[in-house]
Each structure stands twice: as C-alpha cells, then as structure tokens.
C-alpha cells in the first residue's frame, strides 16, 4: 500500500465515522479547478452530486484552503487531477465556505 492510499484510507475511515453528518456525494475525475485569493478552492467531479445541499446552486464543491485540513484536502484534489484518478467527494450538506457551493467534508482518492 503506497502512502497516498494509506492516507486516503485513514481519511475515509475518519469520514465514515461522521458520515451521518455529511450531505451529498460525488465521484469521478476532477475538472474546472478555480482558486480564489481568499483561499477558496472550487472544483467539479465527473458525476453529479447526489442529494446536493439546498444552498448549492451547482455541482461544484469548495474547500477553505486557509486551514491545515483544507490544504490537505486541496492537495488531494490536485493529486487526483494530475494523476487523472477518480475522487470520491462527500459534502457537509451546507455552504459554509461559499454561499452557493457545498463545502467538502471529506475526500477519497480512488484507484
């Protein structure tokens, strides 16, 4: 098991413990990455959201990259994008970082 797979497994395990609080989900290849000066990173995945948060007006996701956890999540998104590997995204069910975009709760880098 390589280090990226181990980290993804740990993050997924931690995420599944709190999955009852999570909102929607999406899977697929990452596209349309946008980074704002305020530290928000937006991206989309190939498959559409399931059970998208009511506040979300599109299928994109957002991460607050000004926190250590957000920086780790952003690195995972960029890794998936550069390796052309699918990613699993689970949302918080709310739009805390950006008013019309669901905030990422946890990510899973897929094989």
Three-class SS of 38-52: CCEEEEEECCCCECC
Mean pLDDT of 71-85: 97
The total number of residues written for the chain in this structure: 111
> Would you kindly state where each structural domain of the chain is located, as residue ranges?
3-109
pLDDT at 20: 45
pTM of the model: 0.78
**What's the confidence (pLDDT) of residue 60?**
94
Phi then psi dihedrals of residue 107, to 5 deg: -125, 155
pLDDT reading at 14 higher than 80: no
Fold of 3-109: OB fold (Dihydrolipoamide Acetyltransferase, E2P) (2.40.50)
Mind listing the pLDDT tens digit for each residue in 24-77?
888 899 999 999 999 999 999 998 778 889 999 988 999 999 999 999 999 999
Please report, for residues 5, 47, 93, 97, the alpha-carbon distance to residue 8 in angstroms, rounded to integers and kept in the order given: 5, 20, 21, 23
Residue 30 pLDDT = 96
Q: Could you please report the per-residue DSSP string of 78-103?
A: HHHHHHT--EEEEE-SS-SSBTTBEE
Q: What is the pLDDT of residues 93-105, one digit of tens each?
A: 999 999 999 999 9
How far is it, in rounded angstroms, from Cα 29 to Cα 19? 22
Residue 14 or residue 24, greater confidence: 24
């Amino acid at each position: 098991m390589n280090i990226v797979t181990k980290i993804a497994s740990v993050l997924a395990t931690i995420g599944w413990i709190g999955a009852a609080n999570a909102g929607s989900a999406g899977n697929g290849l990452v596209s349309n990455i946008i980074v704002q000066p305020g530290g928000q990173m937006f991206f989309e995945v190939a498959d559409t959201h399931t059970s998208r948060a009511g506040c979300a007006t599109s299928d994109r996701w957002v991460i607050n990259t000004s926190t250590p956890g957000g920086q780790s999540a952003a690195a995972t998104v960029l890794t998936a994008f550069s390796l052309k590997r699918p990613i699993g995204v689970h949302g918080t069910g709310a739009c805390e970082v950006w008013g019309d975009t669901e905030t990422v709760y946890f990510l899973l880098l897929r094989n």
